[in-house]
Amino acid sequence: MNAPASPDTLPLLVACLCAQWCRTCEAYRDTLVATRDAMRLGHPGAAARFVWVDIEDESELIGDLDIEDFPTLLLARGDRVLFFGPLLPHAQTLDRLVRNALDNAMAELPSAALAPDVRALPARLRGHADL
């Protein structure tokens, strides 16, 4: 019988919540792709999924979350939310966050501090196509 996976060995989910009409998001998508590619080269054994979610076209995934600032980023391992919030659209900021999460240097956010729809978001995005 196989033991359940340790939460720290589950794939890292990097989800960018944006909108098609947002010009900042449009430019940030290239940054997200470049970070994904760099992570695959720099951490070849690390399991990470990068997804792009248009909050209007895929509103059923977002639920009642009110995303006001773009880009908004979710980092999660399994159902554990490590980061959720708006992010300055700088490649270095994204790179640092993702590297810290891959290196298990980020603690889970307290569940009580998260809205129910934020806590449910990792599970909703499990079937979402990778970027």
Q: Which of 82, 89, 26, 12 is nearest to 54 (CA)?
A: 26
Q: 18 φ, ψ to 5°?
A: -140, -175
Give the architecture (CATH level 2) of 9-110.
3-Layer(aba) Sandwich (3.40)
> Cα–Cα distance between 99 and 47 in angstroms, integer?
12
Task: Supply the pTM of this predicted model.
Answer: 0.89
Q: Which of 87, 90, 110 is nearest to 17 (CA)?
A: 87
Q: Which of 39, 9, 22 is nearest to 131 (CA)?
A: 39
**What's the pLDDT score for residue 3?**
46
**What's the pLDDT score for residue 1?**
47
> Which residues of the chain are modeled with pLDDT < 50?
1, 3
Structural domain spans, the chain: 9-110
**What's the pLDDT score for residue 70?**
92
